[in-house]
């Protein structure tokens, strides 16, 4: 027998055996299907009958409807019906005072909005901005711009705190709203807001809005044939939001920027030292603020900007200008109306030295009892040192 037949004969015999077995099994499977199918159909019909018996009665289809779904249950409607309208319609029962609001605000809101609603970085400012709406750059805050207190309560209740929305109780929302009013000097420190007195509170800018009549008065002017002449050949991006600083930066970015600015200042000073004959005495050099500390103080001072200004063209806001404050008499600005406790300090001749300023910045209300300043104080000693260094950099 040839070598080819020795290899091919066994392979052909094995293939024939496999094909024969496959044919037998396939024939058996086809024969058994009719006996299995009735069982499966019976089970499916039984399951369908059980589901139909347990399904609630269908709601009649409203006229013109599509016959889909059902009417919402009262509790389902209540879960969505959380809006509050002007006049307090929709408010839940509850109450909260300014003191409680300050505590809750510090825990839940201050990380973005500052300890007394002045805003941190580019996060929204909630206090101040009065008499700025007609300016080129108006400061639109709750006090200066928002027309209805119900919007404040509703927004805090729905969307705050950032990242943990709707975690506040109604009483906490009342308290936060009361504290925001207090931060805008619209109520006293003993004020309590509740569902009972809510409707009686009117916001300063309630009359600052008008009905939009542009569809009738202006749209017809704009909606004409478009001008297709003197168009630019191309449109280019000239600036990006990250460059013009209109969005909040990531954590740590501001600190890095401040450190880089301070390092640049040090390098510039090293590269271009002043002539020896113009050098200040050693005592004056020792008293000069550390550039890095000043840069850090500028960052921390953002917590103060809502009420205080420094530098050229600084003006009094809710608080006085702080140019030259270090070493000056407390309550010493003649053109600012201080609270009585500062007037007494001025009469006593008390001075803003470093020790006094540090103690005041740590706990303003404890150091100067009776002050109207609502700032809770700086918790970190390094922040206090930085602010003092920053204030020292501004003369009269």
Q: At what angle do helices 291-300 and 381-392 cross, to 10 degrees?
A: 110
Output the pLDDT for position 53: 57
Question: How far apart are alpha carbons 249 and 341 in whole angstroms?
Answer: 39
pTM: 0.45
Asked whether residue 276 carries a pLDDT value surpassing 60, the answer given is no
Q: How far is residue 112's CA from residue 302's CA, in Å, rounded to a whole number?
A: 12
Phi/psi for 275 (5° steps) reads -60, 150
CA distance 312 to 393: 12
pLDDT at 9 over 50: yes
Residues 242-269 have pLDDT tens digits of: 665 555 555 454 455 555 555 444 444 4
Lowest-confidence region among 119-133, 277-291, 356-370: 277-291
Q: For residue 331, which phi and psi values (nearest 5 degrees)?
A: 65, 35
**Torsion-angle region of residue 191: left (phi > 0), alpha (psi -120 to 50) or beta?**
beta
Residue partners of 240: CB distance under 8 A and separation at least 6: none
For residue 379, give the nearest of 98, 104, 117, 111 by alpha carbon: 111
pLDDT, mean of residues 236-240: 79
Rounded mean pLDDT, 146-168: 93
């Amino acid at each position: 027998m040839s070598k080819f037949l020795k290899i091919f004969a066994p392979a052909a015999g094995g293939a024939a055996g496999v094909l024969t077995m496959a044919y037998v099994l396939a024939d058996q499977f086809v024969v058994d299907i009719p006996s299995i199918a009735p069982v499966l159909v019976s089970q499916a019909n039984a399951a369908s009958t059980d589901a139909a018996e347990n399904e609630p009665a269908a709601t009649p289809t409203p006229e013109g409807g599509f016959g889909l779904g059902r009417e919402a249950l009262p509790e389902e409607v209540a879960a969505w019906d959380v809006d509050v309208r002007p006049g307090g319609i929709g408010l839940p029962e509850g109450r909260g005072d300014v003191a409680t609001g300050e505590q809750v605000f510090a825990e839940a809101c201050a990380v973005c909005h500052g300890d007394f609603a002045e805003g941190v970085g580019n996060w929204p400012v909630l206090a101040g901005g009065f008499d700025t709406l007609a300016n080129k750059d108006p400061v639109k805050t709750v006090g200066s711009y928002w027309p209805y207190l119900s919007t404040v309560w509703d927004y805090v209740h729905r969307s705050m705190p950032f990242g943990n929305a709707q975690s506040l109780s109604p009483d906490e929302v009342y308290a936060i709203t009361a504290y925001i009013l207090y931060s805008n000097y619209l109520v006293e420190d003993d004020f309590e807001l509740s569902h009972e007195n809510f409707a009686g509170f009117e916001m300063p800018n309630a009359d600052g809005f008008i009905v939009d009549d542009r569809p009738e008065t202006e749209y017809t002017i704009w909606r004409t044939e478009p001008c297709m002449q003197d168009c630019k050949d191309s449109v280019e991006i000239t600036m990006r939001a990250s460059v013009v600083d209109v969005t909040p930066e990531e954590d740590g970015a501001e600190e890095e920027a401040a450190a880089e600015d301070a390092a640049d200042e040090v390098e510039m000073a090293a590269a271009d030292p002043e002539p020896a004959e113009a050098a200040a005495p050693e005592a004056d050099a020792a008293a000069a603020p550390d550039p890095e500390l000043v840069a850090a103080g500028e960052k921390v001072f953002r917590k103060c900007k809502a009420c205080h200004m420094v530098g050229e063209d600084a003006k009094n806001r809710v608080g006085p200008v702080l140019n030259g404050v270090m070493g000056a008499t407390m309550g010493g600005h003649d053109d600012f109306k201080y609270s009585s406790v500062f007037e007494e300090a001025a009469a006593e001749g008390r001075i803003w030295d470093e020790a006094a300023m540090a103690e005041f910045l740590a706990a303003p209300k404890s150091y100067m009892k009776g002050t109207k300043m609502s700032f809770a104080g700086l918790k970190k000693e390094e922040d206090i040192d930085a602010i003092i260094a920053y204030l020292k950099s501004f003369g009269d």
